[in-house]
């Protein structure tokens, strides 16, 4: 599916501080609600025994259920890595507007849906296929993609996709890392150093997020 902007004028530059706050808040809410649920489940058997005199096997099952919720919460904290990684990229690169975003398909993984996209640049050919994951872990393609997107980063290394009028941001890495090796090798020293500071130079960076639960080409 291809998305074209309605006008040739780029939309207003997103407020990155606001977008980052929204994603950090989403992460904090996720953690807080599940820790609260964990505490309630673990405390339920003792409270039921003390207040109501109930001592049931089924009530005691709340304790392993609470431990499961806690472990699941720790497991899903990989969301936080995405948010922090995006913040690191956004500190090192300015946003550039790309009026054309092509969504190829999406795949399910344990950590969230992996989207295959092409972020094309007017006047350039051969846009690389990118794998993108939502920083907040949502399992759906964000809205408002019909107006293009803002990109921070260096596509042969990776980057962040930010949508106009939307608080969503997606972390991206090349779908075929090895095929873009020559482009990275031809990058000058300053460009490579910038990608290193943003944490984009290693093939392994975030690759396990993309691979988990589904085979991804090029990784």
The pLDDT of residue 211 is: 56
Q: What is the pLDDT of residues 91-127, one digit of tens each?
A: 999 999 988 888 777 777 666 678 888 888 775 666 8
- Give the Å distances, CA to CA, from 189 to 183, 186, 194, 202, 204: 13, 9, 9, 16, 21
Q: For position 143, what pLDDT does the model report?
A: 55
Q: What is the mean pLDDT of the chain?
A: 79
Residue 161 has pLDDT above 80, yes or no: yes
Which among 43, 88, 82 has a CA at the least distance from the CA of 62?
Answer: 43
Tokens 């039921």, residue? 48
170 DSSP β-pair partners: 134, 161
When pLDDT is cut at 50, 70 and 90, the band that residue 147 belongs to is: low
Higher pLDDT, 166 or 25: 25
**Residue 145's pLDDT band (cuts 50, 70, 90):** low
pLDDT higher than 70, residue 169: yes
pLDDT tens per residue across span 105-115? 777 766 667 88
pLDDT at 218 over 70: no
- Phi-psi domain of 116 (left: phi exceeds 0; alpha: psi -120 through 50; beta: other): beta
Q: How many CB atoms lie within 10 A of CB 122?
A: 8
Q: What pLDDT shows up at residue 62?
A: 86
Q: Give how far Cα 45 sits from Cα of 37, 52, 70, Å.
A: 14, 10, 17
Residue 46's pLDDT is 85
Partners of 149 in beta bridges: 98
Structure tokens at 205: 């960076």
3-class state of residue 45 by DSSP: helix
Comparison of pLDDT for 10 and 115, the residue scoring more: 115
* Predicted local confidence at residue 57, as pLDDT: 73
pLDDT of residue 123: 59
- Upper half-sphere CA count for residue 200 (Cβ side, 13 Å): 29
The Cα–Cα gap between 174 and 39 comes to 41
Q: Give the integer Cα–Cα distance in Å for 170 and 55.
A: 48
Q: What is the predicted pLDDT for the residue at 25?
A: 87
Give the number of C-alpha atoms closer than 13 A to the C-alpha of residue 115, restricted to the C-beta side. 23
Residue 38, pLDDT score: 92
Q: How is the chain split into domains, by residue range?
A: 18-76, 93-211
Burial class of residue 26 in the structure, from the number of CB atoms within 10 Å of its CB (0-12 exposed, 13-18 middle, 19+ buried): middle
């Amino acid at each position: 599916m291809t998305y074209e902007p309605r006008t040739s004028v780029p939309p207003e530059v997103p407020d990155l501080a606001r977008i980052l706050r929204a994603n950090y808040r989403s992460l904090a809410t996720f953690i807080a609600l599940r820790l609260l649920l964990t505490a309630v489940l673990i405390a339920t058997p003792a409270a039921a025994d003390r207040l109501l005199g109930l001592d049931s096997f089924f009530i005691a099952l709340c304790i392993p259920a609470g431990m499961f919720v806690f472990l699941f919460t720790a497991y899903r904290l990989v969301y936080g890595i995405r948010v922090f990684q995006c913040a690191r990229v956004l500190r090192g690169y300015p946003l550039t507007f790309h009026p054309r975003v092509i969504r190829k398909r999406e795949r399910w993984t344990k950590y969230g849906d992996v989207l295959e996209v092409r972020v094309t640049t007017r006047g350039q050919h051969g846009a690389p296929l990118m794998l993108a994951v939502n920083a907040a872990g949502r399992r759906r393609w964000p809205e408002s993609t019909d107006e293009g997107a803002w990109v921070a980063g260096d596509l042969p290394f990776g980057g962040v996709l930010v949508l106009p009028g939307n608080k969503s941001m997606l972390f991206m890495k090349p779908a075929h890392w090895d095929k873009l090796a020559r482009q990275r090798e031809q990058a000058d020293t300053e460009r490579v150093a910038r990608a290193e500071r943003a944490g984009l130079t290693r093939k392994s960076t975030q690759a396990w997020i993309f691979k988990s639960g589904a085979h991804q080409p090029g990784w």
